[in-house]
């Protein structure tokens, strides 16, 4: 049986790797997971299945919450032959993406595999996400309009 003993920061770590997996592309997860190699057999416990969730916003970024609208999500739950259970929710209708994320979630809960998976799967996906975000931010910064007012021009 794999070592799945919880640590004080297990929830924070799991939120971090699940956020990376949920925002990554299914092809990217599959490619990175193939580098790992030691993948056990998984059975589906639930899904992948599509549904809707209500997206909420806040006025002014921090004010009163309001319902923004519904978004499509796909969820999946899998169990490895070793008994590890992984869950995933991803936006959109890509069942393969949800299943791959659930598999990585299950494997990451095994302390003997977590470090290698972090290095081979999660960290490269996070680096690719950071690069994409930096590219988008640079494009947005190039279009930023800076208004000059008289008070800004005083010395």
pLDDT at 144: 79
Closest C-alpha to 94, from 78, 72, 77: 72
Q: Distance (Å, rounded) from C-alpha 18 to C-alpha 135?
A: 23
Q: Distance (Å, rounded) from C-alpha 79 to C-alpha 86?
A: 6
pLDDT at 48: 93
Determine if the pTM surpasses 0.85: no
pLDDT tens digit sequence for 34-77: 888 778 889 999 989 999 999 998 888 788 899 999 999 999 99
**Location of structure tokens 């960290």:** 123
**Location of structure tokens 């030691």:** 38
pLDDT tens digit sequence for 70-120: 999 999 999 998 899 999 999 999 999 999 999 999 999 888 888 888 888
pLDDT at 38: 78
DSSP state of 60: G
Question: What is the residue extent of each domain of the chain?
Answer: 10-153
């Amino acid at each position: 049986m794999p070592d799945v003993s919880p640590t004080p920061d297990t929830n924070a770590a799991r939120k971090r790797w699940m956020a990376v997996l949920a925002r990554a592309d299914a092809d990217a997860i599959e490619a990175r997971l193939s580098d790992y190699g030691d993948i056990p057999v998984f059975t589906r416990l639930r899904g992948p299945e599509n549904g809707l969730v209500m997206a909420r916003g806040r006025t002014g970024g921090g004010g009163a919450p309001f319902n923004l609208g519904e978004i499509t999500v796909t969820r999946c739950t899998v169990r490895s032959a070793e008994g590890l259970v992984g869950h995933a929710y991803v936006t959109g209708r890509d069942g393969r993406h949800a299943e791959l994320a659930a598999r990585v979630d299950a494997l990451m809960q095994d302390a003997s595999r977590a470090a290698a998976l972090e290095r081979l799967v999660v960290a490269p996906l996070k680096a690719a996400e950071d690069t994409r975000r930096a590219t988008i931010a640079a494009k947005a910064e190039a279009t930023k309009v800076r208004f000059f007012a008289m008070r800004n021009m005083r010395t």
